[in-house]
Amino acid sequence: DTITVRDTGAVATIDGGSGSDTITIANTGAVMTVRAGMDNDVIHVQKTGGVASIDGGSGNDAIRLGSGVGTVDGIDGMLTVNGGVGTDTLVIDDSLDTTANTGVLSSATIDGLGFTGTTTYLAMEAVEIELGSGADDFTVVTTHTGTTWIDGGAGADAIEVQRTSGILTLDGGADGDTIDVLDTGAIATFYGGAGNDAITVRDTGAVATIDGGSGEDTIIVRNTGAVITVRAGMDNDVIHVQKTGGVASIDGGSGNDTIRLGSSAGVVDGLDGMITVNGGVGTDTLIVDDSGDTAANTGVLSSATIDGLGFTGTTTYLAIEVLDIALGSGNDRFTVVTTHTGETRIDTGAGADTVEVQRTSGILTLETGDGDDVITVRDTRAEVTVDGGAGADTITVRDTGAVATFR
């Protein structure tokens, strides 16, 4: 059946019965009840005037809230949507709203965005929320256990995700968005979209993916769960990974990217598990910041890997043009097995450090800072500069290549 209700009086009830029904509600009075019945139904509620109750019944139903021009402003009063039995989808369509809205999503309710009352949803397997082109402020308190998809649309949106209970996909859309993720409980994917976005992830659950999209994005990862993937996308991006809980993959994409590993206090001890950093296309810089570490560490650098220094697993790097490694104030022991073909800069900081350079393949600058340091250079195949800094340093050079400077 195809049922269209353009307006109702005080109380109205619609029952689609059996069959794949299409029910459109253009406007309602004080009380409206819609029961789709059996089979796969389509329900579109464009405007309500009071209390509305929608029950999808059995079957795989699609229920849409929003006018024919993509706004929810005309849906007034308390609204309850029950998907019923089957694989049901609820779509909140505010995609053509040009005003700046505030909205809140929980595991069972939606408030704001132009709704004058609370919209309650239950027995939904998928929830899709489409925001408009205004600079929206949207908060996800938590999600239901099914799948949730949020599209921020155009506009410089501020979206906060406090927690999730199911699978979440969040797309910031066009313009420069601010996305702040406090915690995720399951699988979560975050897209910055077009524009210069700021994405901060404070903690994640099992699996998380961050994609900055186009624009000069700033991505900060404070802590992760088992698996995290970060793709910066196009343009010149900044990525700062402070702590990881498992496998981490970082891809700078195109552009001149800066990727930093280490906490805000300059310690890499919280980076647990295997980490892979791919600079991608462009002139990319990888910074390993252990400058705030006071412990005596041991570390090993090769042309593609970094071990030790507090990392519990191997950090693999590739397509990096500049590698910066900053050690702390402890009496560190650092071995350079070889370097990559780009530029490598190592600052061992204060402390009586021991550094052995076995071989180089690119430009190397080594600064050992204050303290009585011991430096041994066995073989270099490119330009090398060694600055022992203050202290009674011992520098031993066994062989050098093209240009070598020792201070």
What mean pLDDT do residues 40-46 have?
A: 96
Whether 173 shows a pLDDT value over 80: the answer reads yes
**Between 109 and 399, where is the model more confident?**
109
Share of the chain above pLDDT 90, in %: 86
Task: Kindly report the average pLDDT of the chain as a whole number.
Answer: 95
| pTM summary value | 0.94
The string over 335-370, giving b where at least 16 C-beta atoms fall within 10 Å of a residue's C-beta and e elsewhere, is bbebbbebbbbbbbbbbbbbbbbbbbbbbbbbbbbb
Q: Are 89 and 64 in contact (CB under 8 A)?
A: no
Q: Name the band, by pLDDT with cuts 50, 70 and 90, for residue 404.
A: confident
C-alpha Rg value of the chain to the nearest Å: 28
Burial status of residue 398 (CB atoms within 10 A of its CB: 0-12, 13-18, 19 or more): exposed
User: What is the reported pLDDT for 8?
Assistant: 81
Whether 1 shows a pLDDT value over 90: the answer reads no
**Between 388 and 298, where is the model more confident?**
298
User: What is the reported pLDDT for 400?
Assistant: 78
User: What is the reported pLDDT for 11?
Assistant: 87
User: What is the reported pLDDT for 128?
Assistant: 99
User: What is the reported pLDDT for 277?
Assistant: 98
Q: Name the band, by pLDDT with cuts 50, 70 and 90, for residue 24.
A: very high
Whether 61 shows a pLDDT value over 90: the answer reads yes
User: What is the reported pLDDT for 185?
Assistant: 83
Q: How far apart are CA 360 and CA 345, in angstroms?
A: 12
For the stretch 334-392, pLDDT in tens is 999 999 999 999 999 999 999 999 999 999 999 999 999 999 999 888 899 999 888 89
Residues in the chain: 407
Q: Name the band, by pLDDT with cuts 50, 70 and 90, for residue 75.
A: very high
Q: Name the band, by pLDDT with cuts 50, 70 and 90, for residue 130.
A: very high
For the stretch 238-285, pLDDT in tens is 999 999 989 999 999 999 999 999 999 999 999 999 999 999 999 999
Instruction: Give the CA dihedral 173, 177, 180, 185, nearest 10 degrees.
Output: 0
Nearest CA-CA partner of 171 in 144, 197, 153:
153
User: What is the reported pLDDT for 68?
Assistant: 84
